[in-house]
Amino acid sequence: MQMRARTLISAARLGDVVVRTTLASTLTAAMMPGSLLLDSRAERRRLEYYAALAAAHDPAKVFAPPPSPIPVHSRPGAALPGGRIEQLRFHSPFEPLHPDLQPRFRPSSNNATARAQYWRHDDGPHATLIVIHGFSASSAAFNAAFFRLRHFFELGWDVLMFLLPFHGGRSNRSTPFNGAELFSHGFSQLAEAMTQAVCDLRVSIDYLIRKGAPRIGVTGLSLGGYTAALLAAVDERLDFAIPNAAVTDLPTLIEDWFPANTGTDLLEHVKGIPKELLARASALHSPLNYPVLLDRDRLLIIGGSGDAMAPPAQSEALWKHWGEPELHWFPGSHLLHFERSDYLKQMRATMGPPDLPEQDPTPGLPDIPDPPAPTPLRPGNSPAPGGLSPLRRLRESS
């Protein structure tokens, strides 16, 4: 490696370390008050419940398919050359796996309304790239620039930028920073939020299929890459999956993040929640816990050789778990991706051409007119008249 490249990577890695320490400090400050106030025995019971589900290595026991069709509201936005941007919203059908978490996912909260930005062409449905942002980085403008989405749109791809739970418009007004609620009520909340992300992504896939998208694939950065890899173990309708600088093993990562690792030490010594239990429970939503459903030639892993936030070992673990598909290393860090044009070329090769076969929407998933914007339920209103929701009934019958 040339001296100039080494210098750039070293500088970028140093930037990662500074940002990582700042982010870890902020996360710890947001997480610790709620975690230390938790009923430790109740939290341990919840984590043991998640660990038992994870131990079965069966995604069907964790990620029940959402009821279909879910009404999706579309609001016109800005024009694009040859297309337009639409803002999508729908009421998330997700219900927590553990009943203790029901109040935190109440249907009247901002998080209950799932959101996405949809870039679509005027000449009909095209193959669609789903893009999932990283932790605390949900800005549509940032992700459009980072992933060069206008480039993919000009090539003929439709694009759907998905908003993760507790980010952006899905966060509550009192949250200290974007995405903080993922971690503000212990590891059980994180487990449920990642399960909700998969549920809402599958609703989004249902919607794209109803609209006639001939192929659908997914990419994501960091936590978004984690979610993209997890989705590839749950939904066989994906045509490709391309995690980028992905986190794949959260417990191992946290141990390397100072001062976040002091937070798990406090949970162990003050609340009696061992790290070993956190690791087993976190496997519930780990892409390393389930077999991938896509063929190897439909997979591409992108990693930074100098990444200090999601180190190369994270990408290597996923590469081995997936049977050693294509793995591209770029010179750079988590935040600075040098020679990005090289991996964009590999992305295009994995994705294939954005072909436009003439076809009707998939039978069995009838198209439905866009409904009026969902109105949040007020406290006290029943979210599921007549008993359990279809999603809960499906879970309890399995």
Lowest average pLDDT, out of 24-38, 69-83, 141-155, 233-247, goes to 24-38
Residue 380 lies in a domain: no
State the amino acid at position 228 in one-letter form. Answer: A
Q: Which residue has the higher pLDDT, 355 or 219?
A: 219
Q: Which residue has the higher pLDDT, 116 or 366?
A: 116
Residue 20 lies in a domain: yes
Q: Which residue has the higher pLDDT, 20 or 51?
A: 51
Q: For the residues 261-270, what does the mean pLDDT come to?
A: 66
Q: What is the CATH number of the domain that holds 349?
A: 3.40.50.1820
Residue 246 lies in a domain: yes
Question: What DSSP character marks residue 332?
Answer: B
pLDDT exceeds 80 at position 395: no
Q: Which residue has the higher pLDDT, 97 or 357?
A: 97
Residue 365 lies in a domain: no
SS3 172: coil
Query: What integer pLDDT is reported at residue 175 of this predicted model?
Result: 82
Residue 198 lies in a domain: yes
Number of domains in the chain: 1
Count helices and strands (H / E) in the chain.
12, 9
Residue 23 lies in a domain: yes
pLDDT exceeds 50 at position 246: yes
* Beta pairing partners, 88: 74, 116
Both tokens of 341, joined, read 């044009």
* 74-106: pLDDT as tens digits: 999 999 999 999 999 999 999 999 999 988 898
Q: Where are the alpha helices (H) located in the chain, listed in sequence order?
A: 3-37, 40-55, 140-146, 149-155, 186-210, 223-231, 250-256, 260-270, 275-282, 312-321, 340-351, 390-397
SS3 221: strand
pLDDT exceeds 90 at position 30: no
pLDDT exceeds 70 at position 364: no
SS3 322: coil
Alpha-carbon radius of gyration of the chain: 20
Query: What integer pLDDT is reported at residue 383 of this predicted model?
Result: 33
- The answer to whether 83 and 379 have CB atoms below 8 angstroms apart is no
Sign of CA dihedral 346, 198, 25, 269: negative
Place of tokens 């793995």: 327
Q: For the residues 154-170, what does the mean pLDDT come to?
A: 97
- The answer to whether 124 and 78 have CB atoms below 8 angstroms apart is no
Query: Which residues are CB-contacts of 180 (< 8 A; sequence separation ≥ 6)?
Result: 26, 27, 30, 136, 166, 171
* 54-64: pLDDT as tens digits: 999 999 999 99
pLDDT exceeds 70 at position 119: yes
Q: For the residues 181-204, what does the mean pLDDT come to?
A: 93
Q: Which domain holds residue 94?
A: 3-355
> Residue 345: pLDDT band by 50, 70, 90 thresholds?
very high
Place of tokens 């279909």: 68
Residue 310 lies in a domain: yes
Q: Which residue has the higher pLDDT, 204 or 357?
A: 204
Lowest average pLDDT, out of 49-53, 95-99, 178-182, 231-235, goes to 178-182
Model's pTM, two decimal places? Answer: 0.84
> Residue 154: pLDDT band by 50, 70, 90 thresholds?
very high
Q: For the residues 123-144, what does the mean pLDDT come to?
A: 95
Residue 383 lies in a domain: no
Distance separating alpha carbons of residues 341 and 351, to the nearest angstrom: 15
Question: What DSSP character marks residue 362?
Answer: P
pLDDT exceeds 50 at position 155: yes
Task: Provide the mean pLDDT of the chain.
Answer: 84
pLDDT exceeds 60 at position 360: no
* 376-389: pLDDT as tens digits: 433 333 333 333 33
Query: What integer pLDDT is reported at residue 50 of this predicted model?
Result: 98
SS3 394: helix
Query: What integer pLDDT is reported at residue 177 of this predicted model?
Result: 86
Q: For the residues 230-238, what does the mean pLDDT come to?
A: 98
Q: For the residues 152-163, what does the mean pLDDT come to?
A: 97
Lowest average pLDDT, out of 171-180, 219-228, 238-247, 252-261, goes to 252-261
